[in-house]
Structure 1
Amino acid sequence: MLTTMMLVLALPALAFAQDAPSTADLSLAMDTMWVVIAAVLVLFMQAGFAMLEVGFSSMKNVGSVVAKILVNLAIAALLFWAVGFAITFGTGNAIFGTQGWFLAVPAGQVNDVYAGLSWTQVPLSAKFLFQVAFCAVSLAIVWGTMLERTKFAVYVVFAVVFAGLLYPLVGHWIWGGGWLTELGMQDFAGSTVVHLSGAMAALAGTLLLGPRLGKYDDEGRPVNIPGHNMPLAVLGVLILWVGWYGFNPGSTMAASTQVADIALTTTLAAAAGVLGAMSMSYMYRRNIDVGMGGNGAIAALVAITAPCAFVAPWASIVIGFLAGVIMYATLVFVDRIGVDDPLGAIAAHGMGGIWGTLSCGLFTTPALAAVGEPGLFYGGGFYQLGIQALGIVACGGFVFIASLAVFAALKATIGIRVKPDQELDGLDIHEHGVFGYPDLVATDYQNGNGHTRRAPEPVSDTAEGTA
């Protein structure tokens, strides 16, 4: 079906060529169309993040969420075009790329300038569209822990640093020909590059930011602050799930039969992740937490992102189920130690990224080990597992420390958190001048504990008690 659609889209352009299209021309056209379609799917994940964050936020803050999504996508696109893509995939040294700024490449020298992506022959524009969508996803992850209390200016400044430097450096180390590439680290679609990087930056910001008002009682016990719309949150999860079919299968950057195999491992892992998280919810609380089920799917999708092309279907189920379990346990732990993570980004993207990256060193099969060595369970020994662990420590540690320094500088200068009265009132009205739900939020919206009251319903002339 997908192949037929790509052929239909590609053939009209080829039909105008003076000579009949060759098999190589058709193959390249199909590969290009697949990469563009996959890039659009990954880009649409921004809508998933928006709905997920809106659903888990209070009504008084939903406008700030969508504003943040828009501005961060814009900044990521421009910074990655200007410098990020060159640092990630440009030919350079073991630490960063040094060529290809602003996508300015002499004719016929694309593979020389961007050696990190010379393995795929699709046009440079298609390569960039796909990779910039990944950068935007990693940046979106950063803010999942910092909802409802962060100054908007912080989003803007940190986005420039993250999209222009931090994410590209990690990308170069693993994907662009850097030192972890040389060691054979396995991260097919970004459990470490995309998800762990975003989560470590999120953890750094959250530690400096502190928890939301009302999150902990006088004795330091966590208080549940529920999101205002669970259906929207689940819609966000489902959009992200669909977008992952661009994320993982699209990383082939070719319309090959491997696309279906990767889609299969992605699907099985996500399904198992839902069950793993829901099982933990029932054992821990004796109920089925819908939000945790959604986070279980996301954690599993994050975990399968690194090994999706390297493992058998049965292993993807194990990886996904354990990702859901690990996510739930992590979320409970960070909640108890005073780390306020409204979206569960540290648990889902951080621990999911760690587990997924390590799982390559356990489950990679000899037949599928296109990079590195087979996993421990397939007779590969501890070498690959060690490389995976090294990559986690190096990349996660670097992003955390660098992000902590950036957020600390922002805290010392412009500040990173809104004033308490602004947090209680909601960021929509103070940061953007409007409410996301103007008809549902009262003018007098403070009730003393950081929550928003519904506006009083209009009283009709026939209502009981009307004069």
Structure 2
Amino acid sequence: MESPELQLAYALDTFYFLISGALVMWMAAGFSMLEAGLVRAKNTAEILTKNVALFAIASIMYMLIGYGIMYPAGGNGIIPEISWSFMFLDAANDHSVEAVLGSDGDTYYSGLSDFFFQVVFVATAMSIVSGAVAERMKLWAFLLFAVVMTGFIYPVQGYWKWGGGWLDGIGFNDFAGSGLVHLCGASAALAGVILLGARKGKYGKDGSINAIPGANLPLATLGTFILWLGWFGFNGGSQLVVSSIENANAVAGVFVNTNMAASGGLVFGLITARLLFGKADLTMALNGALAGLVAITAEPLTPTPLAATLIGGVGGVIVVFAIVTLDKLRIDDPVGAISVHGVVGMWGLMAVPITNTDASFAAQAIGLGSILAWVFITSFIVWLLIKLIMGIRVSEEEEYEGVDVGECGLEAYPEFVGTRGAS
């Protein structure tokens, strides 16, 4: 490859990587709007604070230690061999012109573009936790957990596959993170929810389940569309390069399959809700679309568009039953995050061999189990330590009045609740 051609390919792939990362970063806005729409008005400002703060914490922690753990100098496959030269982005200094040209095309994109693309995935995993523990968790307990999650828990299991660790060695497949991102976030959320307990009034002593409607379904719908858009960067960017005919075709296929899976998830989820509840439940439709997206994320390249639609559709059916089942188990998840990202993330991992003949169900099951076990156990320990040190749940009075006032000292919709102190 001539040097001008090589330089153009390097620039194009770097630019594509950065734009894909920016799309994934925009998913933070999607999670914020979705969660703000599905919680009660009195808890809106606090959940927005969590979402914007966790993104900043994820960026800092992944820069300091997370990236070096996930992409180390070496390791034994399970434990990464940490090199301090890989911390603080020292190993991600951009390649010189001479280094790129001397690599004969093996250096595809800027090192810092790789960091940027990876860090927004970390924030996505942590965003999943936010919605599941909404309306009753202490803000600073959540942010403290975010430090450990994004700096250590997520990077270790990320290393097992994407950093060349033992899961990669056994042939485990997870193209863009049905397991490494979505199941990871849901497992951490489940551990937190178990220790945290349900919201007051959610479950009656007689076994009844009381619906607690969200405050702003238009906002939740907007959040879903933002996530749907961002997912094109999430899955499409995971092809990593776009500067050849083969890779450009692959990216186009990933985009189409991502969209079809979301569509299948929404339609199948909506139909399932109609059959179960007798109504077209908007929240189930929204979660169905997200479930379809999660389901296809493990392998968006090999399915045909029809197969992608069906894989997403199965995810849409699964998520409705998962939400109902978790409620019966008295596991209170205000936004359905554990069902969407955890239960359907499992389906996405196990669906890979259906269309990818290089994958095996055994390797997928091992990867699923190891991610679930590692993240749940370590998260449970961290949540428990935080609970013992500072507590993780707000007081009953704060929960009744809303965590906006207790934790943030302001209200997202002050005109709806009157003016405090007015005569």
Is TM-score (shorter-chain normalized) higher than 0.5?
yes
Match of 1:357 in 2: 349
Match of 2:203 in 1: 216
Q: C-alpha offsets along residues 13-42 of structure 1, whole Å, 9 cap, x if unaligned?
A: xxxxxxx97111111111111000000000
Asked if 1:225 is matched to 2:212, the reply is yes
Of residues 269, 293, 303 in structure 1, which corresponds to 2:295?
303
Asked if 1:413 is matched to 2:389, the reply is yes
Q: Which amino acid aligns with 1:438?
A: P
8 A contact 1:276–1:322 mirrored in 2: yes
Runs of 4+ in 1 over 4 A off after TM superposition: 106-110
TM-score (norm 2): 0.92
Asked if 1:48 is matched to 2:35, the reply is no
Of residues 380, 395, 401 in structure 2, which corresponds to 1:425?
401
Identity rate, percent? 39
8 A contact 1:120–1:254 mirrored in 2: no
CA shift at 1:176, angstroms?
Answer: 0.5
CA shift at 1:220, angstroms?
Answer: 2.2
8 A contact 1:88–1:97 mirrored in 2: no
Change (3 A) 1:206 1:312: same
TM-score (norm 1): 0.84
Of residues 62, 82, 87 in structure 2, which corresponds to 1:98?
82
CA shift at 1:65, angstroms?
Answer: 1.0
8 A contact 1:120–1:253 mirrored in 2: no
Asked if 1:389 is matched to 2:365, the reply is yes
Higher mean C-alpha deviation, range 407-416 or range 193-202: 407-416
Residue 104 of structure 1 aligns to a residue whose secondary structure is helix
8 A contact 1:89–1:97 mirrored in 2: no
CA shift at 1:89, angstroms?
Answer: 1.3
Asked if 1:71 is matched to 2:53, the reply is yes
Change (3 A) 1:413 1:272: same
CA shift at 1:218, angstroms?
Answer: 2.8
Match of 2:102 in 1: none
Asked if 1:436 is matched to 2:418, the reply is no
Change (3 A) 1:360 1:152: same
Asked if 1:245 is matched to 2:232, the reply is yes
8 A contact 2:172–2:364 mirrored in 1: yes
Asked if 1:84 is matched to 2:84, the reply is no
Q: Which amino acid aligns with 1:38?
A: S
8 A contact 2:92–2:111 mirrored in 1: no
8 A contact 1:97–1:172 mirrored in 2: no
Q: Which amino acid aligns with 2:271?
A: S
More helix per residue: 2
Higher Cα radius of gyration:
1
Q: C-alpha offsets along residues 426-445 of structure 1, whole Å, 9 cap, x if unaligned?
A: 01111111111111113689
Residue 439 of structure 1 aligns to a residue whose secondary structure is helix
Q: C-alpha offsets along residues 100-153 of structure 1, whole Å, 9 cap, x if unaligned?
A: 11111397889x9xxxxx976211110000000000000100122100000011
8 A contact 2:93–2:112 mirrored in 1: no
Q: C-alpha offsets along residues 323-360 of structure 1, whole Å, 9 cap, x if unaligned?
A: 00000000000001100011100110001110001001
Match of 1:274 in 2: 266
Match of 2:12 in 1: 30
Q: C-alpha offsets along residues 362-414 of structure 1, whole Å, 9 cap, x if unaligned?
A: 221x4xxxxxx15xxxxxxxxx1110000000111110011111111111120
Q: C-alpha offsets along residues 183-238 of structure 1, whole Å, 9 cap, x if unaligned?
A: 11110000000000000000000011011111112312110000011110010000
Q: Which has the higher contact order (CA 8 A, sep 6+)?
A: 2
8 A contact 2:291–2:344 mirrored in 1: yes
C-alpha distance in 1 between matches for 2:90 and 2:355: 40
8 A contact 1:269–1:319 mirrored in 2: yes
Q: Which amino acid aligns with 2:38?
A: F
8 A contact 2:266–2:285 mirrored in 1: yes
C-alpha distance in 1 between matches for 2:377 and 2:221: 33
Q: Which amino acid aligns with 1:354?
A: M
C-alpha distance in 2 between matches for 1:150 and 1:45: 23
C-alpha distance in 2 between matches for 1:284 and 1:75: 41
Residue 418 of structure 2 aligns to a residue whose secondary structure is strand
Change (3 A) 1:120 1:343: farther
Residue 150 of structure 2 aligns to a residue whose secondary structure is helix
Match of 1:381 in 2: none
Change (3 A) 1:106 1:403: closer
Higher mean C-alpha deviation, range 323-332 or range 99-108: 99-108
Change (3 A) 1:106 1:406: closer
Match of 1:313 in 2: 305
Count of aligned positions: 406
C-alpha distance in 1 between matches for 2:384 and 2:259: 40
Match of 1:177 in 2: 164
Q: Which runs of 5+ in 1 are unaligned?
A: 1-19, 113-117, 367-372, 375-383, 446-454, 459-467
CA shift at 1:275, angstroms?
Answer: 0.9
Q: Which amino acid aligns with 2:214?
A: G
CA shift at 1:97, angstroms?
Answer: 4.5
8 A contact 1:358–1:385 mirrored in 2: yes
Residue 74 of structure 2 aligns to a residue whose secondary structure is coil
